[in-house]
Amino acid sequence: MIKNYFKVTFRNLWKKKTYSFLNIFGLAVGIACAALIFLWVENELNFNHYFSNRDNLYIVKDQQTYDGTTFTFDATPGPLAQGIKAEIPGIKNTARCTWGDQLLFSIGDKNIYDQGNYVDAPFLSMFQLQFIAGNASTAFGQLNSLVVNETMAKKFFGTTDVLGKTLKVNNRQDYIITGVIKDLPKNVSFRFSWLAPFKIYEENKAWLKEWGNNGIITYVETEPKANITAINKKLHGYIQTKSEEAIAKMSIYPMNRWRLWNNFDTNGNEKEGNLKHVNLFSLIAWIILIIACINFMNLATARSEQRAREVGVRKVLGAVKRKLIGQFIAEALFMSLLATLCALVIITLTLPAFNSLVEKQLSLNIFQPSHISALLIITILCGLIAGSYPAFYLSSFNPVWVLKGLKLKSGSAGVIRKGLVILQFSVSVILIISTIIIYRQIQHVKNRDLGYNKQGLIYTYLNGNMKNNFPVIKNDLIQTGIVQNACLSTNRVLELGSNTGDFQWEGKDPNKQVLITIVGVSPEYISTMGMQLVQGRDFNKDIKSDSNNIIINETLARMLGKSDVVGSLVTRNNGMEKYTIVGVIKNFIYNSMYSPAAPLIMYSDTSGANVLSVRFTQNADIKTALAKTESIIKKDNPGYPVEFSFVDAEFNQLFKTESLIGKLAGVFATLAIFISCLGLFGLSAYLAEKRTKEIGIRKVLGASASGLAGLLSKDFIRLVIISCVIAFPISWWIMHNWLQGFEYHIRISWWIFLMAGLMACVIALITVSFQAIKTAVVNPVESLRAE
Amino acid sequence: MIKITNLEKIYRTEEVETVALNKLSLEVKEGEFVAVMGPSGCGKSTLLNILGLLDDPDAGSFVFNGIEVAKFNERKRADLRKHNIGFVFQSFNLIDELTVFENVELPLIYTGVKSSDRKKRVEEVLDKVQIMHRRNHYPQQLSGGQQQRVAVARAVVNNPKLILADEPTGNLDSSNGNEVMQMLTDLNEQGTTIVMVTHSEHDSRYSHRIIRMLDGQTVLENIMV
């Protein structure tokens, strides 16, 4: 019996090649697309799974509430790690870790910057890093030891056999390599090439001993069966037992949630993070599969008349409905299997492009149980979804009617077919509208006036004697004529990481803390950035003369509640430190590009400076400007390679997630409409074929080819218009909600809907008019003879 | 073999009610060759469909081989049909995607005959209808007469007790038509009961008895001598 089914299926496929191609290719594209998305989803769900001990690993979160708003940070005080390990039961290990440091490593004539972290020794065993050479227990046995990954070892020495070798760090100290670890995969939360003992970092940093100063990350490993609620209960008020004034409330946050959650609202409650995207894209994957399955259903029912006789004969010969349903479902499963095989080819061909789009290293391995079983499930589901309706429809034919060659009643099938086309196009239109809106939102934020000029602005991190030599460097740079100005600051302008809540001013409720961002700058900062003073003056060239003066932003000025704040005093440290406001700058956007500027204070102070920013002249040739800047910095700060970053490029990087969503939505919208059009093409071909006689008669009676093409296309266009009517409010609702997640967002304009609707209509028209024109221009004698 | 009593079949649409069979009663004995004749719309085909268990009556009794089958469900009807009844249609109704051999084999597949037995029986019957040399051809590659011979082969491959033929020569020229009628006569002589719907007086002469129908009822029976 199965052999008989297989034969009929195969011969049917072979006989109707266009139909088979449309069906299998459409389904293959759908399956390939879904499989790619599922690979991405798998990668996201398996994030940090490299760490087998992940169920017991945590990061310490720090929540601070100012005026009813809770901010959640990863920053913790230096003494915390040691304190909680000793005092809170259930905590097995703790490790301090820096935010990430870029150090210059040198050996011979090789001078290369590499990113890494200073960590406590338990870090190596807590995360069970896999040592190729050395081991976790001895690696940090001496102070200046260094654990490097495979790539870094090979970069400097061409081999991983490097134990005992030394690398000079920042042209000052020699670090001895005491361990080589395997490279971490891409889907983990860490990005480091080297790890060095935290003790090195700790030297001369008094703030690391303060309980009120949150400046480093603390990781925790718990006992396997530890009571996490009890640990968190103890941690909550733990800091306050050490320092009464501290307002930070600590808790541990599991590694298993770092990737997909790790988002906190202003009440301090956990929210979905990346999980939102994982869910969204999984949904899209299923939708695309269903769109592809719909093609199958529609084409199968549309050409049902051609299968009707077979159904009739089989019934007469004793086949019961159940057997016929089985036959048609088996046929659909076979097609779905063929589609999956084609999809494998499509996936292999498109995976590199998809990887570069999503910036991952995804790979499909059909020998991997999870992959092969996922493919099988998709194949079976597609076969069942696509095959079930045609199977029930075809098997319900009355043999008496079909064998007599009587016209089949297409009533329910016709309505369902139209409904399915409407569903396909509604989804396509929703995706088109969403793509346009996401794209416009990203552009809207990218074009936002940041309050300074990000073009022609570069920065580099300070090293060697750059800070001391700054006046010389600046002078030399300006002398080139290509550089307009240069300045120093504690942070890069896009991300100002220091803040404090202990400022007071006249009229402020002393019990209410306001979180204020602070940044130390050199006097050239405002002019170099292209920021605008709205009150008062800029800092004096002589830094010392402004040591007790500050410049604030408009947000803070408004909080002061006076129209003219220049000359007002703000105090810090219980009134011990007094600062006079000498100027107010126009708000500029930092940290979150979607939010308004948070209150900010600028000091004229370069003692903590880490960043040198350089502004090129307006018409400077970037290549020449970079080359000249590099040679000057090298000359004035020898022994250090110079690495620049462009502020506008880094700015664009901030929209990585949104850009990815935008790009993927675009790709999915294109695919959805492509698959829908494949179905529409097939459907229009069959319906045109069915109306051959009608067309012939109409032509004989004087209808024009264009009129007939219009007649044949009209019904489909009507369906697309209905799809638009359904899709518009749904997409408005979805995108309206999406935009609410951004404080700075676009308004949804009516023309987006018009454009998406027109696009869908035009694409559908092109698809169906091909068949319509083909049928309409046939000689009526031919079409009537065919009858 | 067949005994129907007061059989009724009414087709209803939203506006019209058509009585296809109106309290029809008739009997067909085992080994008989009966021709059913009458003008279009008189209910011949409806009768044949009910006899073939393809359609169910609205009222009345239908006893087949001593069993009342009028109220049988689809599964029971299909089961009875595939073991006992063969069909020959005017338009042959062969499956285009299957070869001659495979078309004839199909009823044996549905009755669960083993593959080796199937081959033997299909070859025997193809030989009998003299189409063996075309066993690997597809229906479109055959003439009308050849297609109808394949259809007859398919109808008899299961050795049914009853063959129902719906205008079996309607699409054939006279020589092919005569060949098919001869085949049916031969089968009847070998013991198969045949009920044939026809418009052709010529074909009806091959039967033992002609039942003439009008408006869903039998109006006359001619016994052929």
Mean pLDDT of chain A: 90
Residues A253-281: pLDDT tens digits? 999 999 999 989 889 999 888 898 899 88
Which long-range CB contacts under 8 A does A350-358 form with residues at least 24 apart?
A350/A32, A350/A36, A351/A36, A354/A36, A354/A40, A357/A660, A357/A663, A357/A664, A357/A667, A358/A40, A358/A660, A358/A664
Mean pLDDT of A7-32: 87
d(CA A570, CA A600): 12
Residues A657-675: pLDDT tens digits? 888 888 888 888 888 889 9
For A320, which of B52, B78, B94 is closest by C-beta distance? B78
d(CA B89, CA A278): 59
From B225's Cα to the closest Cα of chain A, the distance in A is: 33
Cα torsion through B68, B73, B75, B81, rounded to 10: 40
Pairing of strands A57-66, A214-222: antiparallel
Q: How many CA atoms lie within 13 A of A244 on its CB side?
A: 0
d(CA A237, CA A241): 7
For B81, which of A4, A15, A318 is closest by C-beta distance? A318
pLDDT band at residue A457 under the 50/70/90 scheme:
very high
Residues A364-410: pLDDT tens digits? 988 899 999 999 999 999 999 888 888 888 888 888 877 776 655 55
Residues A223-259: pLDDT tens digits? 999 999 999 999 999 999 998 878 889 999 999 999 9
Query: What's the farthest any 2 CA atoms get from each other in chain A?
Result: 105
Confidence check: pLDDT of B48 > 60: yes
Mean pLDDT of A95-106: 93
pTM: 0.81
pLDDT band at residue A535 under the 50/70/90 scheme:
very high
| Chain B residues within 8 A of A314 when measuring between CB atoms | 95, 106, 110
Mean pLDDT of A505-532: 91
pLDDT given for residue B198 in this prediction:
93
Residue A119 burial (CB count, 10 A): 25
Contact (Cβ atoms closer than 8 angstroms) between residue B21 and residue B27:
no
For A318, which of B89, B94, B110 is closest by C-beta distance? B110
| Residue A689 one-letter amino acid | E
pLDDT given for residue A377 in this prediction:
94
Tell me whether B136 touches chain A (CB under 8 Å).
no
Angle separating helix axes A692-700 and A705-740, nearest 10 degrees: 130
In percent, the amount of chain A with pLDDT more than 90 equals 56
Inter-chain touch A318–B52, beta carbons under 8 Å: no
Inter-chain touch B82–A312, beta carbons under 8 Å: no
pLDDT given for residue A730 in this prediction:
96
Q: Is the ipTM of this complex over 0.90?
A: no
pLDDT given for residue A785 in this prediction:
60
Tokens representing A676 are 């829908």
| Chain A residues within 8 A of B55 when measuring between CB atoms | 400
Instruction: Give phi and psi for A141, each to the nearest 5.
Output: -65, -30
Tell me whether A411 touches chain B (CB under 8 Å).
no
Residue A128 burial (CB count, 10 A): 14
Confidence check: pLDDT of A787 > 50: no
Strands (E), A340-478: 457-461
pLDDT given for residue A628 in this prediction:
92
pLDDT band at residue A411 under the 50/70/90 scheme:
low
pLDDT given for residue A193 in this prediction:
97
For B107, which of A7, A8, A318 is closest by C-beta distance? A318
pLDDT given for residue A660 in this prediction:
85
Buried b (16+ CB within 10 A) or exposed e, B6-24: ebebeeeeeeeeebbbbeb
Tokens representing B58 are 């609205």
Q: Specify the 3-state DSSP secondary structure of B178.
A: helix
Contact (Cβ atoms closer than 8 angstroms) between residue A600 and residue A555:
yes
Range with lowest mean pLDDT among A339-343, A568-572, B17-21? B17-21
Pairing of strands A173-181, A166-169: antiparallel
For A8, which of B82, B98, B154 is closest by C-beta distance? B98
Check residues A498 and A164 and name the one with the higher pLDDT: A164
Residues A715-755: pLDDT tens digits? 888 999 999 999 999 999 999 998 988 888 999 999 999 99
Q: Is B51 exposed, middle or buried (0-12, 13-18, 19+ CB in 10 A)?
A: buried
User: How many beta-carbon pairs below 8 A join chains A and B?
Assistant: 68
| Chain B residues within 8 A of A404 when measuring between CB atoms | 45
Distances, alpha carbon A6 to alpha carbons A3, A33, A328, A331, in Å = 5, 28, 10, 7
For B55, which of A1, A314, A400 is closest by C-beta distance? A400
pLDDT band at residue A347 under the 50/70/90 scheme:
very high
d(CA B220, CA B211): 6
Confidence check: pLDDT of A87 > 80: yes
Mean pLDDT of A693-716: 80
Cα dihedral across residues A300, A302, A303, A304: positive or negative: positive
**Residue A274: which residues within 8 A CB-CB, separation 6 or more?**
A44, A259, A260, A262
The full DSSP string for A291-311 is HHHHHHHHHHHHTHHHHHHHH
Residue of B nearest to A14 (CA): B97
Confidence check: pLDDT of B225 > 70: no
Tell me whether B224 touches chain A (CB under 8 Å).
no
pLDDT given for residue A754 in this prediction:
93
Confidence check: pLDDT of A355 > 60: yes
Helix (H) / strand (E) element for A611: namely: strand A611-616
> Which of A527, A453, A488, A426 lies closest to A633 in space, CA to CA?
A488
Distances, alpha carbon B220 to alpha carbons B37, B48, B206, B215, B223, in Å = 10, 17, 18, 12, 10
Confidence check: pLDDT of A618 > 50: yes
pLDDT given for residue A409 in this prediction:
58
Instruction: Give phi and psi for A753, each to the nearest 5.
Output: -65, -45
Q: What angle do CA A566, A572, A578 make, to 5 degrees?
A: 50
Residue of A10, A311, A316, A321 to mutate for B, most B C-beta atoms under 10 A? A316
Mean pLDDT of A416-424: 89
Inter-chain touch B45–A310, beta carbons under 8 Å: no
pLDDT given for residue A711 in this prediction:
82
Distances, alpha carbon A214 to alpha carbons A197, A207, A371, in Å = 20, 9, 44
Mean pLDDT of A155-166: 95
Distances, alpha carbon A206 to alpha carbons A39, A163, A201, A211, B77, in Å = 47, 33, 11, 11, 94
> Which of A593, A575, A717, A561 lies closest to A659 in space, CA to CA?
A593
Contact (Cβ atoms closer than 8 angstroms) between residue A719 and residue A765:
no
Tell me whether A2 touches chain B (CB under 8 Å).
no
Tell me whether A497 touches chain B (CB under 8 Å).
no
Confidence check: pLDDT of B28 > 90: yes
